[in-house]
Amino acid sequence: MGEAMNIFCSGFEGELFNREGEAWPEADITLVDLAMFAREGYEAQLAIAYISLINHINNFGERDQHLARPIVNITDEAHIITVNPLLARFLTKGLKMWRKLGIWLWLATQNLSDFPDDAKKLLNMIEWWELLVMPPKEVEQVSRFKFLTPEQRQLLLSATKAPGKYTEGVVLSPRVEALFRVVSPALWLALGMTEKHEKAERMRIMREFGCSELEAAVRVAERCFVSG
């Protein structure tokens, strides 16, 4: 146990975990980038960091439970968290209590296939499913954790998308089952372009006009708006 603890008391881990910290400032939005902890080989560090964040959010909920304002905890690339059985169980226990504290857990992922079976209890508690256009294989992955009627399956398979224009999806909840379409502003689309050829185009614009990446994205958005 001593050797295991020493991992977090020296080196890079020691710089992060074995030092005095500062209290989070009061803010409307707090963004935490777990960076390299999302890589393979850092599962232990990720677990400690994520659990400490969740405990801090829970403390906020306990403190503000009598206020009308809710707390929204959004975890992007959630499969990186739930693939750890310990973290999946930890979130499940927290979610049961958070209803009373006004804390809402939002999980976003592009890889539902990476969710282990241990995450089934957690996903069974999810009230709202927002599912963007997906192929049949991904629909089957959804059915691992949520019972789908034939009508719901057909609704999911009917969603389509037009790159650079719109993306359709389906919302499923106890009260609502509907197809929706997301038509994002051109600038949002330009800022969210992460494909290699899209990044290469931004770099070309940066070099041609001697501008920043943000300015290049604005130029891409203006071009999309005109062509659209």
Domain count, the chain: 1
Residues paired with residue 168 on neighbouring β-strands, in sequence order: 181
pLDDT tens digits, one per residue of 141-164: 999 899 999 999 999 999 999 987
**Does residue 183 belong to any structural domain of this protein?**
no
**Does residue 6 belong to any structural domain of this protein?**
yes
* Distance separating alpha carbons of residues 46 and 34, to the nearest angstrom: 8
Quote the tokens at residue 83: 């693939």
DSSP string across 92-144: HHHHHHHHHHTEEEEE--S-GGGS-GGGHHHHHT---EEEES--HHHHHHHHT
**Does residue 196 belong to any structural domain of this protein?**
no
14: amino acid identity, one letter: G
Percent of the chain with pLDDT over 90: 54
The answer to whether 218 and 207 are in contact (CB under 8 A) is no
**Does residue 23 belong to any structural domain of this protein?**
yes
Distances, alpha carbon 106 to alpha carbons 17, 38, 75, 152, in Å: 27, 18, 6, 22
* Distance separating alpha carbons of residues 116 and 164, to the nearest angstrom: 33
CATH label of the domain that carries residue 10: 3.40.50
Quote the tokens at residue 16: 């992060």
**Does residue 190 belong to any structural domain of this protein?**
no
12: amino acid identity, one letter: F
208: amino acid identity, one letter: E
The torsion defined by the Cα of 106, 111, 117 and 123, in degrees rounded to 10, comes to 20
Q: Which residue has the tokens 């954790």?
A: 145
**Does residue 110 belong to any structural domain of this protein?**
yes
Quote the tokens at residue 199: 């990044």
pLDDT reading at 111 higher than 90:
no
What pLDDT, on a 0 to 100 scale, did the predictor assign at position 157?
Answer: 97
Mean pLDDT computed over 196-221: 94
pLDDT tens digits, one per residue of 20-60: 888 888 899 999 998 888 888 888 889 989 999 999 999 99
- Write the burial class of residue 98 (CB in 10 Å: 0-12 exposed, 13-18 middle, 19+ buried): buried
**Does residue 219 belong to any structural domain of this protein?**
no
* Distance separating alpha carbons of residues 96 and 125, to the nearest angstrom: 8
Domain that holds residue 101: 1-126
What pLDDT, on a 0 to 100 scale, did the predictor assign at position 129?
Answer: 96
**Does residue 193 belong to any structural domain of this protein?**
no
